[in-house]
Structure 1
Amino acid sequence: MMAHCFQILVVEDEQLILKNLVKKIDRLGLPARVVAQAADGVSALALQEQYLPEIIITDIRLPGMDGLELIYQVQQKYPATKFIVISGYSDFEYAKRAIQLQVSDYLLKPVKEEELCKSLSRLILSVQSAHNDLELELQTEGHRAKVELIKSYIQQNYAKDINVNTIAQRFGYTPTHLSRLFMKIEQVNISKYLSQIRINYAKQLLHDKTILVKRIGEKVGYPDPYHFSKIFKSATGMTPGEYRDSICK
Structure 2
Amino acid sequence: MEERLALNDFLREYRFPFYIIQCTHNDRNVPNMHSHDFVELVYVVRGEAEHCFEGDCYPLCAGDVFIINPNEAHTFRIEKGKEIEIINCLFQPDLIHNSCLRELGVDDSMDYFYVQPFMSHSERFYHKLQLRERETADVLRLLQGMLDEWQAKKSGYRTVIRLKLVDLFILLSRVYKESLNEGRESTKRSSHHMLVRRINGFLERHYDEKLNINHLSTLFNISTRQLNRIFKQEMAITVIERIHQIRIEHAKQMLKESDEKVIHVAHKVGYDDPAFFSHLFRRYVGCSPGKYRAHGS
Q: Is TM > 0.5 for Structure 1 vs Structure 2? A: no
Q: TM-score, normalised on structure 1?
A: 0.41
Q: TM-score, normalised on structure 2?
A: 0.35
Q: More strand per residue: 1 or 2?
A: 2
Q: Of the two structures, which has the highest relative contact order with CA contacts closer than 8 Å and spacing of 6 or more? A: 2
Q: More helix per residue: 1 or 2?
A: 1
Larger Rg: 1
